Amino acid sequence: MTEKPKTNTAQRIVLIRHGETEWSLSGRHTSVTDIPLTPKGEQQASGLQSFLQKWNFGLVLCSPRLRARRTCDLIGRGKMAIQTDDLAEWNYGQYEGLTTAEIRETVPGWTVFSQSCPSGESAADVASRVDRVISRVREFGGDTLLVSHGHCLRVLTARWLDMEPECARFFNLGTGTWSVLSYEHETSVLQVWNSPPSGN
């Protein structure tokens, strides 16, 4: 399980999944392919800006992918964001650009959480990356903003809750949404999940 070098129980971690892209809309697995936000995706990201203005983040970490960086810019935190490959989306390898239905034509019952991605990452691989993010966030100790991708943030949430990475399958996460991880006493908890800009 993730080591906890420090515990500031007042700390809150806001998660932002990037806005909609053409591939997220069509259900195509998108990792290394750098595609832009759709007009709706731009609106989703812009819609989060007023909500986030009330937060004083001492640390902002962002995936290096264009869709995440653009989202970070639109929410007004691009200038202070530190890009890290540890927040990049799950590497789908040979399944990049395919939908789950297309993958299941040759691998019946496939899910990213339970089976491998040829030439890509496993759930354990992604967990190793997000564990480093969690350690970094806890070491920092203050309110933190993470701008990333659906599967990556789902695994990060599972690890925050001391769950196995495969448990990320229980945390559905839409584009352009915000979530909050925090503590109840010394216990890591999920405070808010999958809230759209309209839920501010």
Q: What is the pLDDT of residues 122-142, one digit of tens each?
A: 999 999 999 999 999 999 999
Domains of the chain: residue spans and CATH: 13-199 (3.40.50.1240)
Q: Is 20 designated active site?
A: no
| Average pLDDT, rounded, for the chain | 95
Known catalytic membership, residue 89: yes
Catalytic residue among 18, 29, 149, 151: 18
Collect all residues with Cβ–Cβ distance below 8 Å to 87 and sequence separation of at least 6: 61, 62, 63, 68, 129, 130, 133, 146, 147, 148, 149, 152
H or E stretch at 128: helix 123-140
Q: Which helix (H) or strand (E) holds 179?
A: strand 178-184
pLDDT tens profile 34-46: 999 999 999 999 9
Predicted TM-score (pTM) of this structure: 0.94
Q: Which of 20, 29, 89, 149 is catalytic?
A: 89
